[in-house]
Structure 1
Amino acid sequence: MKKLQLSIAALALMFAVSCGNNAESTKVEAGEAQKTEDVSATAATYTVDNAATKIQWKGSKAIGGGHEGTIALKEGSIVNVEGGKVVGGKFIFDFNTLTPTDIQGEKADQLKGHLLADDFLGATAHPEGHFVITGVTEGAPADSKLAGATHTVTGNLTLKGQEHSITFPAIITVTETSVNAKSELYFDRTQWGINYESDASVKDKFINKEIELKLDITANK
């Protein structure tokens, strides 16, 4: 009977983990940071429009539930375009703009304070996150789950002072005056040293390692 109970618990845990992410989210793995090349002097610079940009995050517990919210990009976030193609870009995540959207008031303030604390994002020492594009190719990666993906984006993601390369699918549209990029992805936060309650031994307090991001970024010339 005890073995049966343990088996049911294990299945429940697996179900919770597998259902924690959107069906169109692609899992990305942390790799060795890639060398960044200087962008051509002839490339055009498009500035990210925060009013037209939306970045959503989501985290979940293994037993169900979790939290979600938004975060904004800082001034200085740009996209480089040449020949009608994205050839570079830098995005600065402003952790002080992190806003829970599933709860309000004091509870939201408490959650934000916890997420910014040293045992999670460590925003006092690292108030920003960075993503620097190192390559963009046409066509989606083989493991893409993003419907309509047009490109594969590779870049260095820096969180809590740790820099790793990631690759993910995106839907990118470039015009003479604007760039729009959409994607849905999730990654293992512990690969960036964000280890808070990621050990299954904490049982009902166990927080899934995966953080999901939904990106809708617009930049204007």
Structure 2
Amino acid sequence: MKKTMKALAALTVLFAFVAFTNNTIQKKKIDVKNSKIEWEGEKLTGSHNGTIQLKDGFLMMENDELVGGEFTVDMTSIHVVDLTGEDKQKLEGHLSSDDFFGVKEHPTAKLVLKTVAKKSNSVYGVSGDLTIKGKTNPIAFDLEMGKNEAEAELVIDRTKYDVKYGSGSFFDNLGDKTIYDEFELDIELKF
């Protein structure tokens, strides 16, 4: 009888351990080749848009619920899609320069998800830290989760990251050369 009780106690402990370990946090690695980030920046006289690539990233899941994540963006991959030829090359060069993102000194940007709250079946409210050009600031946005994908739209005030070129907030008399402070990222993650 004592052996049976010890065996039952051992099985109970084992089942409790298995049940507990099944609820651990898992990392879902992002498929960077099939994920995409599209950007758009506006100026007084129009806008430009393009893409930028993820270097790596993951989402942290617990019991199939989003609880965190971290992403690194390859800032050297800035690509303009609305221009061609010399104009395209000039804008890509300017965006990579110290006037904008200074990719020689800052080849990556980073987003760390700090707090996640479920808003509906597939939508999470997310707050995190975004680092661009070595400057880190808080950011909040909604992220919509699917089975093997997630989408988010981020609106970023570039001046918080020392990207002030052409900003009407810092320079007077820019006229039609004014570039708006905020730019948008449309993100589609595959995992």
Q: Compute the displacement of 1:201 (Å).
A: 2.3
2:137 corresponds, among 164, 182, 192, to 164
Q: Is 1:50 aligned to residue 32 of structure 2?
A: yes
What RMSD in Å do the two structures reach over aligned CA positions? 1.9
1:66 corresponds, among 38, 43, 47, to 47
- Partner Cα distance (1:44, 1:149) in 2: 18
- Partner Cα distance (1:107, 1:169) in 2: 34
Q: Please, what TM-score do these two structures have when normalized by structure 1?
A: 0.70
Please name the residue that 1:206 is paired with.
178
Q: Compute the displacement of 1:52 (Å).
A: 2.2
- Partner Cα distance (1:149, 1:110) in 2: 41
Identity %: 34
Higher relative contact order (CA 8 A, sep 6+): 1
Higher strand share: 2
Please name the residue that 1:36 is paired with.
none
Q: Compute the displacement of 1:106 (Å).
A: 2.3
Q: Is 1:188 aligned to residue 157 of structure 2?
A: yes
Q: Compute the displacement of 1:185 (Å).
A: 2.9
Local SS of the residue matching 1:201: coil
Q: Work out whether residues 24 and 63 of structure 2, in 8 Å CA contact, stay in contact via their aligned partners in 1.
A: no
Q: How many residues align?
A: 166
- Partner Cα distance (1:159, 1:167) in 2: 15
User: Structure 2, unaligned stretches of length 5 or more?
Assistant: 1-22
Q: What pairs with 1:3-152 in structure 2 (closer than 5 Å)?
A: 42-62=24-44, 64-75=45-56, 77-139=57-119, 150-152=123-125
Q: Compute the displacement of 1:101 (Å).
A: 0.7
List 4+ stretches of structure 1 deviating above 3 A.
Answer: none
- Partner Cα distance (2:28, 2:38) in 1: 22
Please name the residue that 1:215 is paired with.
187
Letter of the 2:151 counterpart: K
Residues 76-105 of structure 1 show CA distances to partners (whole Å, capped at 9, x for unaligned) of x11111110111211111011111010122
Q: Compute the displacement of 1:162 (Å).
A: 0.5
Residues 133-168 of structure 1 show CA distances to partners (whole Å, capped at 9, x for unaligned) of 10111117xxxxxxx971101110001111011111
Q: Go from structure 1 to structure 2 and tell me whether the alpha carbon gap of 1:125 and 1:79 turns closer, same or farther (over 3 Å shift).
A: same
Letter of the 1:135 counterpart: T
- Partner Cα distance (2:62, 2:85) in 1: 45
Letter of the 1:47 counterpart: K
Please name the residue that 2:7 is paired with.
none
Q: Please, what TM-score do these two structures have when normalized by structure 2?
A: 0.81
- Partner Cα distance (1:104, 1:149) in 2: 38
- Partner Cα distance (1:183, 1:78) in 2: 14
User: Structure 1, unaligned stretches of length 5 or more?
Assistant: 1-40, 141-147
